Chain A
Amino acid sequence: MTDPVVVSDLRKVFKVPVRDAGVRASMRSLVKREHRDVVAVDDISFRLRPGEIVGFLGPNGAGKTTTIKMLSGLLHADGGDARVLGHQPWLRSKDLLSRIALVMGQRNNLQWDLPAADSFELNRAVYQIPDADFRRRKDTYAELLDVAALVNKPVRNLSLGERMKMEIVGALLHGPEVLFLDEPTIGLDVTMQKRLRQFILDYNRTDGATVLLTSHYMADVVALAQRVIVIHHGAILYDGALAGLADRFAATKTIRVTAPDLPADVSGLGTLVERTPDKLILEVERSRVAEVTSRLLSVSTVSDLSIDDPPIDDVIDRVFTAEDAP
């Protein structure tokens, strides 16, 4: 089976009007419009394998949303190619649109002032979903997301979390094979977020859908994505397993050691993060981890020792700030 999403040298350039402040500049701009080219997506390439959940990470303006828009047919590319289920998305073939779903955190696809059930009915007609499948999916997903009792309430009367879950139900009624999720858990509380993540995992497992997910919340990515693509300034910085991210970008590891007789001076070993009478947390350069560990083991009676990558959030932060620095 071919890869459902194939991106090759994809490029998107925006023309941004340029104008200085001031009256004279605004007069000039009336006559001559000046533009600057901003490369939002810079010849990126990647492919998604069937059934993969991939996290798409990047700060605002990195090119994530632009890429997702191109993959869902809302923007056409200025260079390179993309194929979703074999189609070029911006040609917006009906066949393609019937097999994908785009869920953006802040947007509504459901009718605001009517019960969700009515919008589901409409979706049934839009996607020509067979009755049995329609009913099965509607009931199953609503049950799983705990909104079954709310389908007859007008959407505007639902809380943000309930609305988001309802949107997800509506988006999956036609059984899409490729799912683009843009910030799906934004604005939700922690319990809702967990619920939603579990649901996406289950859906991916049972339906085998391929999921491309963008999120600000590392927890989303950590919970869902086996693989991450990191994008910054329109270019891909990393494409691989989440675990490998730290290896690639983190310069340090975190060593936690518990012992009653820890050395007083640890300045030569690494950066001190936290110290209590019998616990020590150090950040140590990766190349020195073996050396520092054996030192600690030899001078103290260690009862517990762990070596971890720094928190993913920090790693990502460092990636982006590092790229911004001159």
Chain B
Amino acid sequence: MRPIGPVRLAAIHLKVAALNEFQYRLNFFVQLLQSTVALAVGLIAIAVVYSHTESLGGWSQAQLLAVMGVHLLIGGVIRTFIAPNMRRLMEDVNDGTLDYALTRPADSQLMVSVRQFSIWSGIDIVMGVLVVLWAGLAVEGAIGVLGTLNFLVVILCGSVIVYSVWLAATTVTFRIIRGDYVMQLLDGIYEAGRWPVTLYPTWLRLTLTFLVPLAFAVTVPAEVVAGRLDGSSLVWAIVVTAVFAVGSRVIWRRGIRRYAGASA
């Protein structure tokens, strides 16, 4: 029997998750409220900063709006697709029920990555897109078709990068720390992506570029929208994405081998 393809697998789980959550229509309104509040707070924070200055580290208000939009968008991707799976993974490791997922006829990494979804968090993705569009219009100089393509490529890269980081972090800390702290820590670090990484001191900027590449997840896509992208960033983005995707897979395989060995 041929193992099930990744797209089909994801689609099945997505449908189940959607059917499940559609029952709880109230959750939609709760999430809508929460996302709106978060968005409002973000906008107010930017407004407060820009009530005192015209530019922040060379970024105009409209450009910073682009950063916020991308941050919201990728944050939505994390909350909808990535975090639920990582949390489930950690629970399974703690409860010893990971074997169930591992014995299915599909790649283990795929299995643990497409099981859970937080459907209503998709609101953040929608809001992020809207803010990005708004920023794109507010910024001087339209970005055009090529720019849009660039943006889509870089957003995709950014999504793969955060996924890789989240997966690697979860795998590595399988048994070291209590799971919820890892998630909290990652969320906290992600908060740093709210503002362009160019603001941070050099050592931090390098950390956020090559260790936890928030630069490529958030700042670079924002630079595309803001019309600030230079060609090398695009190349770097693709390179870093590839490195992290491969690296996280290696970490995953090793983690699984150790897990399977331990519980045998």
Shortest CB distance B25–A (Å) = 6
Per-residue interface assignment for chain A, residues 114 to 143, with 1 indicating a CB less than 8 Å from any chain B CB and 0 otherwise: 000000000000000000000000000000
Shortest CB distance B173–A (Å) = 19
Per-residue interface assignment for chain B, residues 169 to 204, with 1 indicating a CB less than 8 Å from any chain A CB and 0 otherwise: 000000000000000000000000000000000000
The reply to whether the CB of A30 lies closer than 8 angstroms to some CB of chain B is: yes
The reply to whether the CB of B51 lies closer than 8 angstroms to some CB of chain A is: no
Per-residue interface assignment for chain B, residues 13 to 30, with 1 indicating a CB less than 8 Å from any chain A CB and 0 otherwise: 000000000010110000
Per-residue interface assignment for chain A, residues 26 to 45, with 1 indicating a CB less than 8 Å from any chain B CB and 0 otherwise: 10001000000000000000
Bound-state CA distance A26–B24 (Å) is 9
Scan residues 261-283 of chain A and give those whose CB is less than 8 A from a CB of chain B: none
Closest residue of B by beta carbon distance from A30: B25
Secondary structure of the A contact surface, majority rule: helix
Shortest CB distance B175–A (Å) = 16
Shortest CB distance B19–A (Å) = 10
Bound-state CA distance A30–B23 (Å) is 9
Contacting residues, chain B, for A30 (C-beta < 8 A): 25-26
Shortest CB distance B206–A (Å) = 39
Bound-state CA distance A26–B25 (Å) is 10
Scan residues 100-124 of chain B and give those whose CB is less than 8 A from a CB of chain A: none
Scan residues 221-262 of chain A and give those whose CB is less than 8 A from a CB of chain B: none
> How many residues of chain B are within 8 Å of chain A by beta carbon?
3
Bound-state CA distance A55–B26 (Å) is 46
Bound-state CA distance A219–B26 (Å) is 50
Scan residues 1-51 of chain A and give those whose CB is less than 8 A from a CB of chain B: 26, 30
Shortest CB distance A324–B (Å) = 33
Bound-state CA distance A30–B25 (Å) is 9
Contacting residues, chain B, for A26 (C-beta < 8 A): 23
Contacting residues, chain A, for B25 (C-beta < 8 A): 30
Contacting residues, chain A, for B26 (C-beta < 8 A): 30
Bound-state CA distance A65–B198 (Å) is 62
Bound-state CA distance A64–B99 (Å) is 39
Bound-state CA distance A170–B122 (Å) is 49
Bound-state CA distance A26–B20 (Å) is 12
Contacting residues, chain A, for B23 (C-beta < 8 A): 26
Shortest CB distance A19–B (Å) = 11
Bound-state CA distance A26–B23 (Å) is 7
Bound-state CA distance A30–B29 (Å) is 13
Shortest CB distance A28–B (Å) = 13
Bound-state CA distance A202–B12 (Å) is 61
Scan residues 44-103 of chain A and give those whose CB is less than 8 A from a CB of chain B: none
Shortest CB distance A276–B (Å) = 48
Bound-state CA distance A30–B26 (Å) is 9
Shortest CB distance B8–A (Å) = 25
Closest residue of B by beta carbon distance from A26: B23
Bound-state CA distance A78–B246 (Å) is 63
Per-residue interface assignment for chain B, residues 25 to 49, with 1 indicating a CB less than 8 Å from any chain A CB and 0 otherwise: 1100000000000000000000000
Shortest CB distance A30–B (Å) = 6
Shortest CB distance B177–A (Å) = 15
Closest residue of A by beta carbon distance from B25: A30
Shortest CB distance A57–B (Å) = 34
Shortest CB distance A154–B (Å) = 16
Shortest CB distance A69–B (Å) = 29
Closest residue of B by beta carbon distance from A27: B25
Bound-state CA distance A26–B26 (Å) is 12
Shortest CB distance B66–A (Å) = 39
Bound-state CA distance A30–B24 (Å) is 9
Shortest CB distance A35–B (Å) = 18
Closest residue of B by beta carbon distance from A29: B23
Shortest CB distance A97–B (Å) = 33
Closest residue of A by beta carbon distance from B23: A26
Shortest CB distance A205–B (Å) = 43
Shortest CB distance B106–A (Å) = 30
Shortest CB distance B18–A (Å) = 13
Shortest CB distance A112–B (Å) = 13
Bound-state CA distance A30–B28 (Å) is 13
Shortest CB distance A113–B (Å) = 12
Closest residue of A by beta carbon distance from B26: A30
Shortest CB distance B231–A (Å) = 52
Bound-state CA distance A295–B262 (Å) is 68
Shortest CB distance A304–B (Å) = 54
Shortest CB distance B179–A (Å) = 17
Shortest CB distance A156–B (Å) = 14
Shortest CB distance B228–A (Å) = 48
Shortest CB distance B14–A (Å) = 19
3 A-B pairs with C-beta separation under 8 A:
A26-B23, A30-B25, A30-B26
Q: Which 3 A-B pairs have CB atoms at the shortest separation, nearest pair first?
A: A26-B23, A30-B25, A30-B26
Residues of B within 8 A of A (CB): 23, 25-26
